[in-house]
A and B are shown apart, each in its own frame.
Chain A
Amino acid sequence: MLGIASPELALAYVLCIAASVLCIIYGIIKWNDSGPLTEELRDLDQWAPEHKGE
């Protein structure tokens, strides 16, 4: 396939492109999915218990 002798290596070639396409599609679908902003997460600190480090 694609002039590549080993089917395993042809699969690697195709998977490189497929993984890149997966990243593109994921990025487009989730383009505006922001979740909570850092500021909003930080605001929770006001009621969170102080419990950091030893």
Chain B
Amino acid sequence: MTVKIILALVYLAVVFYLGYKGWRETRQASDYLLAGRQMNPYVMAMSYGATFISTSAIIGFGGAAALFGFPLLWLTFLNIFVGIFIAMVFFGRRTRRMGVALDSHTFPELLGQRYQSRFIQGFSGVVVFLFIPVYAAAVLIGISRMLEVGLGINYYVALLGFVAILAIYVITGGLKAVMYTDAFQGSLMLVMMVILIVFTYSTLGGVTEAHQALTDLAPQMPANLKAGGMLGWTQGAKPFTPLWLVIYTTIIYGVGIGVLAQPQLAVRYMTVASDRQLNRAVLFGGIFIVLMTGVAFVVGALSNVVFFRALGKISVAVAGGNIDKIIPLYVTKVMPNWFEILFLLAMFAAAMSTLSSQFHVGGTSLGRDFYEKGLGAGGRSELRMTRMGVGITILVTLVWGLLLPPSIIALATAFFFGLCAASFLPAYFLGLYWKGMTKLGAVVSIVGGFVTSFFFLLFVHTKESAAIGLCKAVFGVDSLAQSAAQGSAAWLLQFTDPNVIALPVSLILAVVVSWATPKMEQEHLRLCWRNL
């Protein structure tokens, strides 16, 4: 235990040093909001990756891979191909160049200025500010529970201590502090995951041997999963069964595509000085993500073989039905003792890097986008308002952290990803590529996508609607889709990710309304496209 605490203190000392370095180099608003637009490509890529990958991606989704197996590798493929390649090459470069042309400092500001709409900036800022604390609280609850188990620290002390540490360097150091610490934390995560995959494959006798052993384990698949459509861990699920829909629409499509419209990720494209940093970040990011979700999903699935050989039970049985415990149990029971410390620190790192960026983007959304620009209440001390926004975001997150149950983690992540994709993705993408996109088209698309997604989350998609309880209170059922004939398309909607409906709705609204409304002024479009 003493060694664990000493190493945790060394880790915190490095984080504080990097936070201090960020604070020392922060002089003006562009430093605080965009790291001075001069960020190194390795730092940018690692920060993007470490923000993208939180503890829930490794522990929550790794546990889901122990349950569902290799179909989750499609999510890793999308994480790399869409989340890194498409994002940096097709979104990143244009976002940076248009961001400079319009002098945008945040993601909502880019949307607001592209469409000359204070409403869009204010509304987007409010959406981000209202919902990011719930997502952040989910990450906070997860890491505080882990500190409680790993270091024996009281849960509430862990929660408050964690928030206090983050508050110090995010409020003072802004995005520079966030990105420097992210890069260190991402590097630590990388080392941990490389050891985890090498150890697992070598324990099982090699890559093909390990996969074959998992294939042969199919008869051990629990009966309830088989009833839901699962065939085996490397066999996948029967198409259009409830579990197939959960895996392919919520986990793979929802999270895989949702990444493109995450404000805390998109803002990073604007932190670099040229396309060169983005090009290099593609290389670093491609390696980072395959070693994060790729390793977590493969190890999660293979943990079934390791546990079955050692204990005669598959992972979910070893974890007593709680899939969030599978990866931590695998580390404790299977990996060498020294690895446990590295894993704990890497999980600190994963949580801190995601939380710091969530606090920063929540604060800038409240301070700059909603208060200053949306309400037009900006004064001379814009940096102070943004810092206050970060402080308020942290406080709201803390309140949610104290109120929400631990089971909320995966739910809150899916909720935020879904809302962002449905609200922002069509307006963001078309805003970068289509001059015919109009202000009204963007407004209707953003509001329409938000409302559709929110409706499905509250009243149709059972996973969220049952947990929130509003549908039950109003209509007496967990989901409106439950009243449809069993097996029909309407009935299957309760298992289908809201974005399968909301994102196309948002896209259609954007295109149809833009076609039907007057184009934006040529002079403004020339300004937007000046650097492209």
Interface, chain A (partner B; CB < 8 A): 2-6, 8-9, 12-13, 15-17, 19-24, 26-28, 30-39, 41-42, 44-45, 48-49, 51-54
Contact = CB atoms under 8 A, between A and B. Distances in A.
B27 interface: no
A3 B232 CA distance: 13
Contacts of A6: 70, 231, 234-236
Interface stretch (B110-118, B136-144, B407-415, B474-482): B110-118
Contact of A53 (B101, B118, B232): B118
Contact of A3 (B112, B215, B231): B215
Interface in B221-237: 231-232, 234-236
A50 B208 CA distance: 61
A23 B285 contact: yes
Given A33-B279, A41-B97, A44-B531, A19 B286 contact: yes
Nearest to A47: B530
A53 B113 contact: yes
A38 B274 contact: yes
Nearest to A26: B282
Q: Which of A9, A15, A26, A39 has the most CB of B within 10 A?
A: A9
Interface residues of B, number: 65
A35 B96 CA distance: 11
A33 B290 contact: no
B234 A3 contact: yes
A27 B85 contact: no
B93 A35 contact: yes
A20 B85 CA distance: 9
A33 B70 CA distance: 37
B73 A53 contact: no
Contacts, number: 158
A13 B73 contact: yes
B273 A5 contact: no
A54 B531 contact: no
26 contacts: A3-B234, A4-B234, A5-B218, A6-B235, A9-B73, A9-B234, A9-B235, A12-B74, A16-B73, A19-B81, A22-B286, A26-B279, A30-B275, A30-B280, A30-B282, A33-B279, A37-B274, A38-B274, A41-B100, A44-B101, A44-B531, A52-B113, A53-B113, A53-B373, A54-B116, A54-B118
Given A2-B211, A20-B80, A26-B85, 8 more contacts: A2-B208, A3-B207, A23-B84, A27-B286, A34-B276, A35-B275, A39-B273, A52-B113
A17 B97 contact: no
A19 B212 contact: no
Contacts of A20: 80, 286-287, 289-290, 294
A25 B100 CA distance: 28
A3 B279 contact: no
Contacts of B80: 16, 19-20, 23
B85 A36 contact: no
Contacts of A24: 283, 286-287
Nearest to B209: A3
Contact of B279 (A17, A21, A27, A44): A27
